[in-house]
Amino acid sequence: MDKNNNQLKGFNNFSKFIVFYMLLAIFMVYMYQYFFKTQVTQIPYSEFKSLIESGKVKSCTISEKYIHGVYINKDGDKIRFVTVVVRDPTLVKDLEKHHVKFSGKVTNTWLTNLIFGWILPFGFLFFIWWLMTRKMRGTSGGLFGLGKSRFKVYSNEKPDVKFSDVAGAEEAKQEIQEIVEYLKDPQRYQRLGGRAPKGVLLVGAPGVGKTLFAKATAGEAGVPFISISGSEFIEMFVGVGASRVRDLFNEAKKLSPCIVFIDEIDAIGKSRAVNSLTSNDEREQTLNQLLAEMDGFDSSKGVIIMAATNRPEILDPALMRPGRFDRQIIVDKPDLKGREEIFKVHMKKIKMANDVDIKRLAQMTPGLVGADIANIVNEAALLAARENRDAVYMEHFEEAIERQIAGLKKKNKVISKEEKERVAYHECGHAICAYLLPGADPVHKISIVPRGLSALGYTQQLPTDERYLITKEEMLDKVITLLGGRAAEEVVFKSISTGAQNDLSRATDIVRALVSQFGMDEKVGLVVIEERGGHFLTSEGILTKGDKVSEKTKELVDREVSRIMQECYEKAKTILTENMDKLDKLANELLKKEIINEEELKSIMEGSDGD
Ligand code: ADP
Ligand code: ZN
């Protein structure tokens, strides 16, 4: 939105400039003619001669190309004239004969040449340059401050957004509380022994409210909020990205304590390895400058860098090192209850009819984020206004939701009912296996609120305690749990989907390690099989070739891995078939609530709710 506005403004400026330029040009031409042409009548040389003959010419000045002069016309008016010089040997004689005052003149045009040929054009060029760069210089910097960043500073007007304006996201609010305390009084915080935080990375899908959340953090702490988008750093001029980072941090130091917010940080912070083919020096310099600035400033200064991304996996790991963005806060897509809250926040601003059922609205909008809901409320209000109604009714919301979802469907953001059911069973498959198998980590949360682009749902397991040894049985239980998702799909829908790809690769990794690293497989036996090729130094300092495994052994490992995987998969299917009733119940509950926590899972699994 913002960017478009800027472009629009830029365009308006430009067209204004064009109009201005045209008017000025017309004016100049007119002036020129007025001073140098209009008062002077051009006459042919022959007429000039006959005017001399008839004694009408009073005086004339002869220069290299023209003859300027004055003659008297019939009415006795003095007329200034000009004519072109012709080779005429008798001219001087004629002039003398008729007593015309005349003088010669060396054409002296250097001044006009200077003005029209040099000063004016250069003046224009300079003017155009000045106009074009004015936009980029932004608020800071004088005439020659080219390359200064044009970030928006909300300096005097500290954001008045508060956490109460951000619905849901309770966990995130708690996590950020420490930062708020710090910003309120950096020195005091440090005196009390807190380690000064520096960078916070907000991770979440577009529109979940990351910007809003960062702004609200500034609002809660009562500090200025400086924001810039990562792509803005890079987009405009080559070579100034790094200097913009410097400017940004200088500005921040002046305003501290404050929050610097970098949206779309992935535009700068893309891992240097990710696209080494299309390496971008500009981006790299900017990134390096950012890292240097973050390392350089004194953390007691009270500058907190917040950054947002929806693709944390592509960020350069250097950004995540201690003293940089070492805190990450996940801003999830809202669940049922969260969506209800968001609806409420945005409905405060409009007049609501009594028939609006907010719970139902939340149910109608699975997978949508805060920005979508803000749009829906806005659209509903517009619809009501168009109909001249006294308030916004349920029908308006329903219509607005339909429109919003139709719009998103085009962008493939909404999952269908069938897909959702499949995801629910898939996740419950993981959860039930994890619950029943002693070796698997306990389930913390099951969710079918889509996250990011790939994961449609997830089952979060938390290890009970720090473990140093894992038994073979525990490893196999983990594998069965990982395969439980696909197993559930097969048992329930008699078909499988691509949704289990990540599960499969993680399960394969575990099994492969079991066979080739830990010597836990009977057939392969007690050996460590180093399958990586290349040379490396052994602990005795001998250069050895890593690949000392025969093709036959490799085949054996592959066979064993796939046999163990298959066995685990069969076990998962058996577990789920035996617990079909619980699987159904859990999946239905999940479809209703979208998120199921540990206790709810337990009560369903233990059947303690009565039936
Ligand atoms: P992001 O930065 O994650 O892309 P924004 O912060 O720009 O998302 O959110 C866009 C708009 O969506 C916000 O200005 C706000 O109106 C609305 N919004 C998003 N999340 C929430 C929320 N949790 N509570 C209230 N409004 C929200
Ligand atoms: Zn899965």
Mean pLDDT in runs of 10 for the chain (611 residues)? 42 64 77 65 85 84 82 82 82 83 72 77 80 54 41 54 86 86 82 79 89 91 85 63 79 85 82 53 78 78 87 80 83 87 92 90 86 93 91 91 75 72 93 92 81 59 61 90 94 83 83 84 76 45 54 86 94 95 94 88 77 46
Give the pLDDT confidence score for residue 601 in this predicted structure: 92
Helix (H) or strand (E) holding 53: helix 45-53
Rounded Cα–Cα distance for residues 222 and 218 (Å): 6
CB 102 within 8 A of CB 60: yes
d(CA 32, CA 175): 72
Q: Strand pairing of 66-72 and 78-84?
A: antiparallel
Regarding the beta carbon of 168 and ligand 1, being less than 6 Å apart is answered yes
Contact between 281 and 237 (Cβ < 8 Å): no
44 CB near ligand 1 (under 6 Å): no
Instruction: Phi first, then psi: give them for residue 441, nearest 5 degrees.
Output: -70, 140
Output the pLDDT for position 147. 41
Closest ligand to C-alpha of residue 434 is: 2
Does residue 366's CB lie within 6 angstroms of at least one atom of ligand 1? no
- Ligand 1 atom, smallest distance to 166 CA: 24
Nearest CA among 225, 211, 450 for reference residue 308: 211
From 264, 340, 379, 427, the catalytic residue: 427
Best CA proximity match to 257, nearest among 328, 180, 324, 326: 180
Q: Which CATH architecture has domain 417-606?
A: Up-down Bundle (1.20)
Tell me the CA distances in angstroms from 302 to 185, 255, 319, 430, one per residue in order. 8, 9, 19, 45
Q: Which of these, 313, 310, 349, lies nearest to 330 by C-alpha position?
A: 310
Q: What separation in Å is there between the alpha carbon of 483 and the centre of ligand 2?
A: 7
> What pLDDT is recorded for position 542?
45
Domain ranges of the chain: 20-132, 152-330, 336-406, 417-606
Domain 152-330, CATH class in plain words: alpha beta
Strands 199-203 vs 303-309: parallel, antiparallel or unpaired: parallel
Between the CA atoms of 322, 324, 326 and 328, what dihedral angle is there, to the nearest 10 degrees?
Answer: -170
What is the rounded CA–CA span in Å between residue 602 and residue 609?
10
Find the 372 Cα to ligand 1 centroid distance in Å. 9
* Ligand number, closest to the Cα atom of 422: 2
Specify the pLDDT at position 238: 56
* 161 pocket-lining for ligand 1 (C-beta < 6 Å): no
Please give the distance, rounded to the nearest whole angstrom, from the Cα atom of residue 187 to the centre of ligand 1.
Answer: 32
d(CA 69, CA 85): 12
Q: How far is the CA of 209 from the centre of ligand 1 (A)?
A: 3
427 noted as active-site residue: yes
Q: In this predicted model, what pLDDT tens digit does every residue of 545-587 receive, in sequence order?
A: 445 667 888 888 899 999 999 999 999 999 999 999 999 999 9
- Quote the CA–CA distance of 9 and 127 in Å, as a whole number: 19
Give yes or no for a cis peptide into 257 (omega within 30° of 0): yes
* 162 alpha carbon, closest ligand: 1
CA distance 518 to 512: 9
The Cα 155–Cα 475 span in angstroms is: 55
Tell me, using a 6 A CB cutoff, whether residue 207 lines ligand 1: yes
User: Is 342 near ligand 1, meaning CB less than 6 Å away?
Assistant: yes
Q: Which ligand is nearest to the CA of 433?
A: 2
For the chain, how many residues are written? 611
Ligand 1 atom 21: residue of nearest CA? 370
Q: Which residue carries 């996201």 as its tokens?
A: 169
Name the nearest CA neighbour of 176 among 208, 220, 209: 220
**Closest ligand 1 atom to Cα of 331:** 3
Determine if ligand 1 sits within 6 Å of the CB of residue 392.
no
Residues near ligand 2 ion, CB 5 Å cutoff = 485, 503
Strand arrangement, sheet containing 458-461: 458-461, 443-447, 595-597
Pick from 564, 422, 584, 419: nearest CA to 490: 422
Cβ(203) – ligand 1 distance below 6 Å: no
Q: CATH number of 336-406: 1.10.1040.10, 3.70.10.10, 3.20.20.70, 1.10.8.60?
A: 1.10.8.60
- Strands 595-597 and 443-447, sheet pairing: antiparallel
Taking 3-state DSSP, the helix, strand and coil percentages for the chain, each rounded to the nearest 5, stand at 55, 15, 35
Residue 209 in contact with ligand 1 by CB distance below 6 A: yes
Which atom of ligand 1 is nearest to 372's Cα? 12
SS3 307: strand
Which are the contacts of 252, defined by CB distance < 8 A and separation ≥ 6?
226, 258, 260, 303
Specify the fold of 20-132.
3.30.720
DSSP string, 250-292: HHHHHH-SEEEEEESTHHHHB-TTTTSTT--HHHHHHHHHHHH
Mutate which of 171, 208, 344 to test ligand 1's pocket (most atoms within 8 Å of Cβ)? 208
Nearest CA to ligand 1 atom 10: 371
Rounded to the nearest 5°, which phi and psi values hold at 147?
95, -5
C-alpha Rg value of the chain to the nearest Å: 39
Question: Rounded to two decimals, what is the model's pTM?
Answer: 0.53
Q: Are strands 199-203 and 327-330 parallel, antiparallel or unpaired?
A: parallel
Among protein residues, the one with the nearest Cα to ligand 1's atom 6 is 209
